[in-house]
C-alpha cells in the first residue's frame, strides 16, 4: 500500500512538472507572437519608423532571398566558426589558468590584483591592439571572442576551487596523496558543475567578442553585415543579422544547457 501511495504521488509530481512546462511554453510563445505582431502593426501604421526598425515581413523576405541565393550562409558560417572556437578557447584557457592559480597560493596572491584590474577593464577596448598584434584576420577575431570570456571563467572557477571543503584534501593527504592527486580526485570533480554552468555565461560573452571583432576588422560575417547595413542605410539587413545572432546564440545556449544536464547527471 505504501509503495502504491509513493508511486501515485510520484506520478502526480511528474504530471505537475509537465503541466508547468506547458504553461511556461504557452506564455513564452504568446509573448513572442505578440511582440512580432505589435512590431508589424507599428511598422505598417508608422507608429515606429519603418526605415529604422524595419518589420518582420521585410526581414523574412530579405532572409528568404539571402538564404535562397546563399549569400548569407557564408557570412553565418564564418561567424559561427569564430564564435564556437573563441568560446572553446576562452573556456579551456580560463579553467587552465584557474588550475595554475590553485596550485600555488603565492602565485594566486601575486596575480589577484591583476585579475581584478583585467576583469574591470572593458575587453572590447583591446580590439585595436589585438588587430595590430595578430593582423586583420580570423585569428584576431577569435582572440577577441576568447579574451572576453577567459578572465571571468578564471575568476569563477578559481573561486569554486577555493570553496571546496578542505576536509576532502585532508582525508586524501592522510593516505599520502600529493597536492596534484588531491586536485584530480577531489577538487576538480567537486567543481565540475560550476565549470559547466560557466559555459552558459561564456556563450553570450563569446558572441559579444566575435561580433565586436567583426565590427572592427572583418570583411565577412554577421558583424560585417551589420556595419555594412548601417553604412548603406539598409536597416532591414541590420535587423536580419541581429535576428540571426539572437537565434543562433539561443541555440548554442540550449545545446550547452543540454550538455550541462548530461554531464552533471553522469558526475553526480
Whether the Cβ atoms of residue 228 and residue 236 lie closer than 8 Å to each other: no
For position 228, what pLDDT does the model report? 94
Mean pLDDT of 149-175: 88
Q: Which residues contact 212 (CB under 8 A, 6 or more apart)?
A: 124, 127, 144, 223
**Res. 12 pLDDT band, cuts 50 70 90:** confident
The span from the CA of 237 to the CA of 51, in Å, is 11
> pLDDT tens across 105-157, in order?
899 999 989 988 888 888 778 888 888 888 888 899 999 999 988 989 999 99
For position 267, what pLDDT does the model report? 60
Ranking 62-71, 84-93, 132-141 by mean pLDDT, the lowest is 132-141
Whether the Cβ atoms of residue 51 and residue 235 lie closer than 8 Å to each other: yes
Residue that is written with C-alpha cell 577531489 in the block: 186
Terminal-residue alpha carbon distance, the chain: 31
Closest CA to 140 of 155, 153, 127: 127
Top mean pLDDT of 53-57, 133-137, 214-218 is at 53-57
Amino acid at each position: 500500500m505504501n509503495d502504491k501511495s509513493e508511486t501515485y504521488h510520484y506520478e502526480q509530481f511528474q504530471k505537475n512538472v509537465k503541466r508547468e512546462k506547458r504553461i511556461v511554453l504557452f506564455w513564452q510563445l504568446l509573448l513572442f507572437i505578440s511582440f512580432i505582431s505589435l512590431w508589424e502593426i507599428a511598422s505598417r501604421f508608422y507608429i515606429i519608423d519603418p526605415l529604422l526598425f524595419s518589420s518582420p515581413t521585410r526581414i523574412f523576405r530579405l532572409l528568404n532571398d539571402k538564404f535562397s541565393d546563399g549569400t548569407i550562409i557564408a557570412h553565418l558560417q564564418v561567424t559561427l566558426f569564430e564564435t564556437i572556437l573563441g568560446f572553446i578557447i576562452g573556456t579551456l584557457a580560463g579553467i587552465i589558468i584557474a588550475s595554475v592559480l590553485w596550485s600555488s597560493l603565492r602565485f594566486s596572491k601575486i596575480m589577484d590584483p591583476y585579475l581584478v584590474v583585467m576583469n574591470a577593464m572593458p575587453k572590447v577596448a583591446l580590439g585595436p591592439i589585438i588587430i595590430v598584434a595578430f593582423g586583420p584576420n580570423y585569428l584576431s577575431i577569435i582572440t577577441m571572442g576568447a579574451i572576453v570570456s577567459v578572465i571571468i571563467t578564471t575568476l569563477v572557477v578559481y573561486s569554486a576551487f577555493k570553496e571546496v571543503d578542505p576536509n576532502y584534501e585532508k582525508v586524501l593527504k592522510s593516505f599520502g596523496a600529493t597536492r596534484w592527486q588531491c586536485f584530480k580526485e577531489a577538487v576538480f570533480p567537486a567543481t565540475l558543475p560550476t565549470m559547466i554552468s560557466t559555459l552558459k555565461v561564456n556563450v553570450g560573452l563569446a558572441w559579444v567578442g566575435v561580433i565586436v571583432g567583426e565590427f572592427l576588422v572583418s570583411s565577412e560575417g554577421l558583424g560585417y553585415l551589420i556595419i555594412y547595413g548601417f553604412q548603406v542605410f539598409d536597416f532591414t539587413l541590420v535587423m536580419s543579422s541581429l535576428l540571426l545572432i539572437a537565434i543562433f546564440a539561443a541555440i548554442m545556449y540550449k545545446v550547452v544547457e543540454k550538455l550541462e544536464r548530461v554531464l552533471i547527471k553522469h558526475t553526480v
